[in-house]
Amino acid sequence: MTRALFVAGAGTEIGKTYVTAALARHRRAGGRAVRALKPLASGVPPVGDPAFPESDTGRLLAAQDLPLTPEAVEACSPWRYAAALAPDLAAAREGRSLALDDLVAWCRARLAEASADEIVLIEGVGGLMSPITPTATGLDWLKRLNDPRAETLPVVLVTGSYLGAISHALTAIETLRAHALPLAAVAVSESLGAPTPPEIVAEAIRSRTGAAVACLRRGADWSGAFPG
């Protein structure tokens, strides 16, 4: 049984958090334990800000029915930045830095402490190749977490339904395959105002890759089997 999943994006601002939250709600609705984490988060207001519940971290905590306390926020997203930029740029604005080793070690510690029946969802940041440190991308992070000596972390790849989403998704899938990274499923998250229904995008990806593809209207619940 899959004990952990990494939610990666074919691009940025396409619905990774909506999908991660939907997976968490789906798991909890079945009476199973889940821990949804977003270690890196940009564009996050202070915890006491009225806008915080609408942040990525706020949405994930709500999906787990966890309080918006400083402790819960820190446990979900230890690296939070105010600027809505790639983490390396957002950190630099605040005079901070992030080492890939520290990020990987934190994720592995959370995986190690999870109970036998608990699944851990780790949401990435931006797109698959988005920079996260001055020298590393999200792909580097994912590759390190899938070190053969460590537990396998299959990927749920999230794409949108906007014009160009099919190409972006297929490119990301080829990148994962080129690096021997396991793909659990693709999730097409509805892009508001897109000219094509998400179901059509989902079928185009499925027919060209053979991957399991789920389709989610924006903010809707996950339907069907849990990936993995």
CATH code at position 154:
3.40.50.300
CB 192 within 8 A of CB 165: no
Q: Please, how many CA atoms are within 13 Å of residue 46, restricted to the half-sphere of its CB?
A: 2
Indicate whether 228 belongs to any domain.
Answer: no
| pLDDT value of residue 224 | 78
For the chain, give the mean pLDDT: 93
Residues 134-152 have a mean pLDDT of 87
221 occurs within a structural domain: no
In a domain, 47, yes or no: yes
Phi and psi torsions of 24, nearest 5°:
-65, -45
Domain of 10?
4-216
pLDDT attached to residue 45: 94
What pLDDT was estimated at residue 2? 57
Q: Is 162 annotated as a binding residue?
A: no
Tell me whether residue 225 is in a domain.
no
Residue 179 lies in a domain: yes
Least reliable range by pLDDT among 21-25, 92-96, 206-210, 223-227:
223-227
For residue 90, what are its two tokens? 């957002």
Choice between 192 and 38, residue whose per-residue pLDDT is larger: 38
Contact between residue 207 and residue 199 where contact means Cβ atoms under 8 Å apart: no
Confidence at residue 3, expressed as pLDDT on a 0 to 100 scale:
86
Residue 42, annotated as binding a ligand? yes
> Which residues are designated catalytic?
38
pLDDT band, residue 1 (cuts 50/70/90): very low
The amino acid that residue 8 corresponds to is A
Please check whether residue 227 lies inside any domain of the structure.
no
pLDDT band at 150 (very low <50, low <70, confident <90, very high): low
- How many structural domains comprise the chain? 1
Q: Is residue 224 part of a domain?
A: no
Quote the distance between the C-alpha of residue 18 and its chain's center.
9
Confidence class for position 223, pLDDT limits 50, 70, 90 = confident
How much is the average pLDDT of 175-186? 96
pLDDT, residue 221, reads: 87
**Domain assignment of residue 117, yes or no:** yes
CB burial of residue 96 (10 Å; 0-12, 13-18, 19+) = exposed
pLDDT in tens, 186-201: 999 999 999 989 999 9
- Tell whether residue 190 is among the known ligand binding residues: yes
Output the six-digit token pair for 215.
């389709």
- The answer to whether 77 is annotated as binding is no
Q: Is 119 annotated as a binding residue?
A: no
Model pLDDT for residues 72-99, shown as the tens digit of each residue: 999 999 999 999 999 999 999 999 989 9
Question: And the tokens for 144?
Answer: 């390190």
Scanning 65-197, the segments in alpha helix (DSSP H) are 70-76, 87-93, 100-113, 138-145, 165-178
